[in-house]
């Protein structure tokens, strides 16, 4: 009997991974951005079918650091969700040393609305070389667990203060909330 159990365990381990998984009636998307489906009351759910978002990522945007002002980051939200709790702002793929430039991340243009990261935040990226320390930067949002934000027209704005003749890619990690 043990041999059959080991054989079945081996088949489970060797089985190809599906494009998504189902756990107790919930579908997990390939990039873990959302759970959908119905969790039965017997499994601790409400029995109501709805989306349960996890951490989402904005589309990456290339930012020209040679121009002061706003850069729009699109924040897609699922149906029924209007706010976000922002988790992290990520920068990578810089064209060179950008450590003399500064920025802030806001819910409105012109540095208005709520500040996810305050104006004057410094970049720490000093190289464009891959596989090298200081070629990327990830910053936790100021009030990551205590404040939700209402992105105007589903957008956030990275406002460049001090400029430098370089570019960098930006992406924001967030959780949709109702």
pLDDT confidence of residue 92: 98
* pLDDT digits 0-9 by tens, 155-171: 999 999 999 999 999 99
* pLDDT digits 0-9 by tens, 119-135: 999 999 999 999 999 99
Q: Once rounded to an integer, what is the mean pLDDT over residues 10-16? A: 41
Residue 115 pLDDT greater than 50, yes or no: yes
Residue 82 pLDDT greater than 70, yes or no: yes
Residue 34 pLDDT greater than 90, yes or no: no
Three-class SS string for the chain?
CHHHHHHHHHHHHHCCCCCCEEECCEEECCCCCEEEECCCHHHCCCCCCCCEECCEECCCEEEECCCCEEEEEECCCCCCCCEEEEEEEEEECCCCCCCCCEEEEECCHHHCCCEEEEEEEECCCCCCCCCCCCCEEEEECCCCCCCCECCHHHEEEEEECCCCCCEEEEEEEEEEEC
- Cα distance between residue 112 and residue 105, in whole Å: 9
* pLDDT digits 0-9 by tens, 40-65: 444 444 443 345 568 899 999 999 99
pTM of the entire structure?
0.71
Residue 11 pLDDT greater than 60, yes or no: no
Domain formed by 55-177, architecture: Sandwich (2.60)
Percentage of the chain lying above the pLDDT 70 cut: 70
> How does the average pLDDT of the chain come out, rounded?
79
CB neighbour list of residue 86: distance below 8 Å, 6 or more residues apart? 116, 141, 144, 149, 156, 172, 173, 174
CATH 2.60.120 residue spans of the chain: 55-177
* pLDDT digits 0-9 by tens, 63-80: 999 999 999 999 999 888
- Cα distance between residue 54 and residue 83, in whole Å: 13
Q: pLDDT grade, residue 90 (50/70/90)? A: very high
pLDDT confidence of residue 38: 42
């Amino acid at each position: 009997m043990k041999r059959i159990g080991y054989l079945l365990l081996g088949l489970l381990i060797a089985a190809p991974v599906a494009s998504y998984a189902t756990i107790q009636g919930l579908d997990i998307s390939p990039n873990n951005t959302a759970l959908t489906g119905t969790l039965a009351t017997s499994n601790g759910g409400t029995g109501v079918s709805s989306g349960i978002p996890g951490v989402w990522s904005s589309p990456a945007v290339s930012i020209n650091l040679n121009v002061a002002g706003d850069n729009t980051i699109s924040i897609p939200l699922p149906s029924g969700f209007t706010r976000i709790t922002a988790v992290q702002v990520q920068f990578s793929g810089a064209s060179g040393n950008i450590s003399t430039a500064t920025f802030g991340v806001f819910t409105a243009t012109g540095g208005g609305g709520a500040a996810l990261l305050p104006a004057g935040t410094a970049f720490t990226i000093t190289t464009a070389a891959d596989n090298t320390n200081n070629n990327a930067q990830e910053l936790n949002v100021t009030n990551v667990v205590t404040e939700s934000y209402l992105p105007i027209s589903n957008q956030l704005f990275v406002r460049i203060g001090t400029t430098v003749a370089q570019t960098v890619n930006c992406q924001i990690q967030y959780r949709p909330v109702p």
